[in-house]
Structure formats: structure tokens, C-alpha cells
Amino acid sequence: MNTLNVSIVTPNGEAYRAEEASMVVLGTTSGQVGIMANHVPMVASLKIGPLKVVFPDGKEEILAVSEGFVETHKDKITVIVQTAELDKDIDVERAKRAKDRAEKRIAENQEGLDVRRAQLALAKALTRIKVAEK
């Protein structure tokens, strides 16, 4: 069976590595993509959301990732993002507090507030909660 090596890199270094994955499912700015071995080489922009790594035995690992990029080669996927967290490592209560803060900032829409930053914070918090509570 053809498999993939998966590497997720953040500014702090490699955050995740998997060898012999059968598929990776992730959200690009053009839509959701499933990547298997021998996928056509590509580079795509990622949006905030879950990233799923599927193994030949059916086991799955899910991560919450921020915006970034993915690059694919014949048997290798490299994901470059600001943050990546495995579902088991997510502090759900912290994510819920971040969600509440972001929603409050968006609702207040105060002058000088960077609404886009609050929207990104909200998207990250919602993704973390979704991934953790899968």
C-alpha cells in the first residue's frame, strides 16, 4: 500500500510527524481536499480548521490548525502553519473563554478594534472546540 509522510511545521519547529499515513484531509481556501500517496504535486493556502490524518488501519488523528500552506509531493505532505494542536492536547475551557472574548469584541465593534483579528480568534477557538469535542 502506498503511504504518505506527514510533517506539520510551526514557527517553533515541527509540531507533528506521521509516517505511513494513508490520507490527509484538510481545508484549503478553495475547499476541502483529501490527499493520498501519488497526489499531484501542489501548493495550497489553508484556512483555519481541522486537519485529519488517516492511517491504513483506520485510526485517525485530528489536529486544529491555523491558516497556512500545504505542499504535496509524491509521498510527502508538508503543512506550514502558525499553530497546530492534537485533539487530546486542546484545553477546551481555555478555547471556550477565547471564543467568548472574541464574540464580545466582535459584538462591541469598538472604534479602533481590529475586527478581523477578533474574527480569526473566533475561528481558531471554534476549531479547537470542534476538534477537541469530536
Residue type, 40: V
Q: What confidence category does residue 4 fall into, taking pLDDT thresholds of 50, 70 and 90?
A: very high
Q: Which residue has the higher pLDDT, 109 or 13?
A: 13
> Distances from the Cα of 37 to the Cαs of 2, 3, 64, in angstroms?
6, 5, 22
Q: Please give the pLDDT value at position 107.
A: 83
Question: Is the pLDDT score of 15 beyond 80?
Answer: yes
Whole-number mean pLDDT of the chain?
90
pTM of the model: 0.84
Alpha helices in 63-133 (DSSP H): 92-108, 115-132
How many degrees, rounded to 5, is the angle at CA 64 between CA 129 and CA 81? Answer: 145
Spatial distance between the Cα atoms of 72 and 68, rounded to a whole number of angstroms: 14
- Helices 115-132 and 92-108 cross at an angle (nearest 10°) of 150
The whole-number average pLDDT for the span 33-53 is 93
pLDDT digits 0-9 by tens, 54-103: 999 999 999 999 999 999 988 999 999 999 999 899 989 999 999 998 88
